[in-house]
Amino acid sequence: MEKKKRIYRKFEGEVVSDKMEKTAIVKVDRKAIHPKYKKRYVVSKRLKCENPENKYKTGDMVEIIECRPLSKDKRWRISKKI
């Protein structure tokens, strides 16, 4: 029996806070279209991400990937700086 390869979600965003130990908050923006008025607008989400050596600082653009739950709110890991 073959094992299925897991597909991880990836997002790009900006680090908005690095005040916690081994954690960074990354703001991810996406564009949405209003169903009635067809206007485009930006939807933002702030995700807590694993930042093990505290090497990513506020203002850095980073790529994050989904991972196993690391704490109550942390389910993302920073993979690289853009």
Interatomic CA distance for residues 1 and 13, integer angstroms:
38
**For residue 60, is it within any domain?**
yes
CATH of the domain at 49: 2.40.50.140
Taking the model in full, what pTM does it have?
0.86
Q: Give 54's DSSP letter.
A: S
What local confidence, expressed as pLDDT, does residue 14 receive?
97
Q: Please give the average pLDDT of every successive group of 10 residues along the chain, which has 82 residues.
A: 84 96 96 97 97 94 96 96 94
**For residue 10, is it within any domain?**
no
Greatest alpha-carbon pair distance for the chain in Å reads 50
What local confidence, expressed as pLDDT, does residue 82 receive?
93
Structural domain that includes position 62: 17-81
**For residue 42, is it within any domain?**
yes
DSSP helix, strand, coil percent of the chain (3-state; round to 5): 0, 50, 50
What local confidence, expressed as pLDDT, does residue 80 receive?
94
Count: domains in the chain: 1
